[in-house]
């Protein structure tokens, strides 16, 4: 019988490192010795401040940490979706400012057909149907009013994710993990030794002279990719011909919540050479301009970013340069790359932290013995590769469906991007009025094996929201609707019910600011008791 894994070494801290340490500690219990080495010199990137709704279910519920507990520690706020500003050149019906929401959660259906198709039938017939997101969801109108997705008693009214301070998440999980036995080592890795017989990683040598060994090494060293990229020389597949942005300038900005409230959504604001994110939290919002260095200089991007928020020139700014793409494999020999060490996709749809816990879920699902079974590695790599490429397709789709062509950046995005066969097939399905979902060529058995909804996040409702917001619609509504007037009448009742629900919730829900204040007050009271 093969010996079980007994020692794990995680190289790198930050969000990826400490999410890995906590997840594996929970999954493996006390049978495995887990150590994490992190530098006190290397600056942490702090992957993302915006998340996806599966975070609580897949990660924090797995750890056994309730939402109200971790939110208290990380300046957490709510996120119901993404508001896209200045992307579309086609005003949505009823939205003259051309903004639109990508709303989380599934779209209602009527007799098995998404409600958007009934809306489209009315829209194509010239009937006044309003914007799709407002007709088919209650959330859009509520987001306009900055209302909370939960009541003050914590009962949810909408499907939602979170904004938070990624550095505080790392600090919180550091404490959580070390209290449960993770050995934290503060040092710098200066050398990686490989086995001459197998090519596996034998040990890492630190600046202070420690030689650290393990059965399995986890690379969480960020863009440096010390183990997977440098030591094991795993090829990196660059995708800068598919996604042009390769740089960012970022900073936190103070915010008066009492005066302006807190927005329960991320904003993605199209700029001349890319886009700017805004992730509201309590007392501030995180923001950054993601741009293409081929389109403008760092100084030009900085100036445009400062003008957007009217920033003082003395405001400290962080400048980032990143590679877009993924390693050919995330698991090589006895090393697994988590987070930026194996892949990076710009944060347009908040996939950074998602990649971390989704990869951890797959790792535990395919957990090996010391024999490092090849089939486990192969299946793990297939799933992680598909996950990244599927997200890349969804993000890329935002760029080439916009009508913008006012700068060279937007012209190139609209006409010259390299598109995968899979994204083209998805768009063809959408235009034909068919479900989009996932397209996995020659791998139907692999896709059907998926057993968590979060593994196929970018499904019909997500494509519907974004493409309709861009003014891109299916060529026609389903012809079967012309033979089913009862379904059309039933859909009208659903539209009416959505309007009633919207009006009722608008009267009942607290503002996001009020809900977060209530969360802090109630949790503090329970903790004191």
Pairing of strands 113-114, 33-38: unpaired
| 280 phi, psi to nearest 5 deg | -70, 135
Assess contact for 270 and 66: CB atoms under 8 A: no
**Residue 492 is labelled as binding a ligand:** no
Confirm whether 79 is a catalytic residue: yes
Cα separation of 72 and 68, whole Å? 6
Integer-rounded Cα Rg, in Å, for the chain is 24
**Residue 85 counted as an annotated binding residue:** no
Residue 268's region, left for phi above 0, alpha for psi from -120 to 50, else beta, is beta
- Which phi and psi (to 5°) does residue 492 adopt? -60, -35
Q: How many CB atoms lie within 10 A of CB 92?
A: 21
14 is in an annotated binding site: yes
Establish whether 189 is an annotated binding residue.
yes
Establish whether 340 is an annotated binding residue.
Answer: yes
Please choose, from the candidates 322, 301, 330, the residue with its C-alpha nearest in 3D space to the C-alpha of residue 245: 322
7, 26, 44, 79: the active-site residue: 79
- Enumerate residues 6+ apart whose C-beta is below 8 A from 523: 68, 69, 72
The dihedral formed by the CA atoms of 69, 70, 75 and 80, expressed in degrees to the nearest 10: -100
Distances (CA, A) of 519 to 65, 71, 77, 78, 516: 15, 9, 10, 12, 5
Write phi, then psi, for 224 (nearest 5 degrees). -65, -30
Q: Is 505 annotated as a binding residue?
A: no
Q: Does 41 show up as a binding residue in the annotation? A: no
* Structure-block tokens of residue 49: 């401040």
Q: Which residues are annotated as a binding site for L-tryptophan?
A: 349
Catalytic residue IDs? 79
Q: Which residues are annotated as a binding site for FAD?
A: 13-16, 189, 340, 353
Q: Which residues are annotated as a binding site?
A: 13-16, 79, 189, 340, 349, 353
């Amino acid at each position: 019988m093969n010996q079980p894994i007994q020692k794990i070494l995680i190289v790198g801290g930050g969000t990826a490192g400490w999410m890995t340490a906590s997840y594996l500690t929970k999954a493996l219990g006390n049978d495995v010795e887990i150590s994490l080495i992190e530098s006190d010199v290397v600056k942490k990137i702090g992957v993302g401040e915006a998340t996806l709704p599966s975070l609580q279910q897949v990660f924090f519920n797995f750890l056994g940490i309730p939402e109200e507990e971790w939110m208290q520690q990380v300046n957490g706020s709510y996120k119901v979706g993404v508001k896209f500003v200045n992307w579309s050149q086609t005003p949505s019906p009823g939205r003259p400012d051309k903004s639109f929401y990508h709303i989380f959660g599934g779209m209602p259906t009527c007799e098995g057909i998404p409600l958007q198709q009934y809306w489209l039938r009315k829209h194509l017939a010239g009937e006044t149907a309003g914007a799709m997101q407002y007709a088919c969801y209650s959330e859009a109108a509520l987001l306009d009013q900055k209302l909370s997705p939960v009541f003050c008693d914590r009962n949810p009214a909408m499907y939602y994710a979170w904004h938070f301070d990624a550095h505080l998440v790392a600090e919180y999980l550091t404490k959580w993990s070390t209290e449960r036995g993770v050995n934290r080592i503060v040092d710098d890795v200066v050398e990686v030794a490989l086995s001459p017989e197998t090519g596996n990683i034998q040990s890492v040598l630190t600046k202070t002279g420690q030689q650290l060994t393990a059965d399995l090494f986890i690379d969480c060293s960020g863009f440096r990719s010390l183990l997977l990229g440098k030591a094991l020389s795993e090829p990196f597949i660059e995708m800068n011909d598919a996604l042009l942005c390769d740089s960012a300038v970022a900073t936190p900005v103070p915010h008066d919540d009492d005066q302006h409230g807190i927005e329960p959504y991320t904003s993605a604001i199209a700029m001349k050479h890319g886009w700017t994110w805004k992730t509201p939290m309590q007392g501030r919002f995180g923001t950054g301009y993601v741009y293409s260095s081929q389109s403008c200089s760092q100084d030009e991007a900085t100036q445009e970013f400062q003008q957007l928020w009217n920033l003082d020139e003395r405001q400290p700014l962080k400048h980032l340069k990143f590679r877009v793409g993924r390693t050919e494999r995330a698991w090589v020999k006895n090393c697994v790359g988590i987070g930026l060490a194996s892949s990076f996709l710009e944060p347009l749809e908040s996939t950074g932290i998602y990649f971390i816990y989704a990869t951890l879920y797959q790792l535990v699902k395919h957990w090996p013995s010391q024999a490092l079974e090849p089939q486990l590695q192969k299946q793990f790599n297939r799933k992680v590769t598909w996950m990244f490429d599927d997200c890349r397709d969804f993000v890329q789709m935002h760029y080439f469906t916009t009508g913008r062509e006012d700068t060279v950046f937007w012209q190139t995005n609209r006409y010259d991007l390299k598109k995968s066969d899979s994204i083209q097939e998805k768009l063809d399905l959408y235009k034909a009025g068919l479900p989009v979902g996932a397209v996995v060529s020659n791998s139907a058995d692999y896709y059907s094996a998926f057993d968590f909804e979060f593994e196929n996040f970018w499904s019909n409702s997500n494509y519907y929201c974004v493409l309709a917001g861009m003014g891109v619609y299916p060529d026609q509504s389903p012809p079967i609707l012309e033979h089913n007037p009862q379904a059309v009448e039933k859909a009208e009742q659903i539209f009416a019910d959505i309007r009633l629900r919207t009006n009722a919730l608008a009267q009942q829900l607290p503002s996001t600011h009020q809900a977060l204040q209530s969360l802090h007050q109630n949790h503090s009271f329970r903790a004191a008791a």
